Amino acid sequence: MSPEKGYLKIVFRTVPEDAEDEKMKLKKALLIVDVQNDFCPGGALGVPEGNKIAPFINKYIKIFSKKKLPIFATRDWHPTKTKHFKDFGGVWPVHCIQNTRGAQFHPKLRLPKETILLYKGIYPERDGYSAFEAENERGMSFLSLLKRLGVEEIYISGLAIDYCVKFSACDALRQGFKVKLLMDAVKGVNLRPNDSERAIKEMVKKGAKKITLKDIGG
């Protein structure tokens, strides 16, 4: 028998054991919410220090990429007329209009090519805060993509913790996913002071666990 054949045999014998081992762990995915120019300082709806989370998110991306775990990134992606905006009855200044510079990802964010891109806030009659209201370019919902990939636990980062991150985390928990809130990779708008703190308390009460990079060896 050639040495190559012997090697192949070992590979075939070890694969099922590794697969069994994997089954014991929950399948994880990383969710990056709305890290876009308009939500960073200088943008139409700048979140204080919103840009500062990019290097942390990049580290989480590296960890997930290395393990070949799915990475999702949402973009707030509004039409020009939507009830989300002040001019049409909402609370927000115009931001993240489809295909504008403000709607592009922050330039410091390093998304790998396998990132699954999702668009949210695309319907004029809804705010569309939650990633669970987002869809890919073929109209597939975030939930259907998570199910198809067998994801059980979602690691959530991004902007803003008191709106889209909070709504996404609460929807995830309601749908039965485990949620890890990446404390070094989120920032809040704080329309009212302490909105971020209140949002964190609400998410934790509903079952989210707070973690930072050092908890996962980053």
Residues serving a catalytic function are 34, 120, 164
The answer to whether the CB of 85 falls within 8 A of the CB of 78 is yes
Pick between residue 41 and residue 150 the one whose CB is nearest to Zn ion: 41
> Phi/psi zone of residue 25: left (φ > 0), alpha (ψ -120 to 50 degrees), beta?
beta
Q: Could you tell me where the beta strands, DSSP code E, fall in 58-123?
A: 71-76, 116-120
* 171 lies in the site for Zn ion, by CB under 5 A: no
Taking the complex as a whole, the smallest distance from the CB of residue 40 to ligand VGL amounts, in Å, to 11
Pick what 164 binds: ligand VGL, Zn ion, none; C-beta below 5 to 8 Å, kind-dependent.
ligand VGL
Pick between residue 134 and residue 145 the one whose CB is nearest to Zn ion: 134
Per-residue x/- mask for Zn ion, residues 95 to 134, rule CB under 5 A? Answer: --------------------------x-------------
* Contact residues: ligand VGL, CB under 6 A: 34, 39, 76, 92, 159-160, 163-164
Our separate counts of H helices and E strands in the chain read 5, 6
Taking the complex as a whole, the smallest distance from the CB of residue 169 to ligand VGL amounts, in Å, to 12
Pick between residue 65 and residue 98 the one whose CB is nearest to ligand VGL: 98
* 76 lies in the site for Zn ion, by CB under 5 A: yes
Taking the complex as a whole, the smallest distance from the CB of residue 102 to Zn ion amounts, in Å, to 11
Angstrom distance (rounded) from CA 72 to CA 177: 15
Angstrom distance (rounded) from CA 132 to CA 104: 20
> Phi/psi zone of residue 217: left (φ > 0), alpha (ψ -120 to 50 degrees), beta?
left
Pick between residue 152 and residue 202 the one whose CB is nearest to ligand VGL: 202
Backbone φ and ψ for 195, nearest 5 degrees, come out as -55, -40
How far out from the chain centre does Cα 191 lie? 22
Taking the complex as a whole, the smallest distance from the CB of residue 205 to ligand VGL amounts, in Å, to 20
Instruction: Kindly list the residues in this chain that would bind Zn ion in the complex (CB under 5 A).
Output: 76, 121
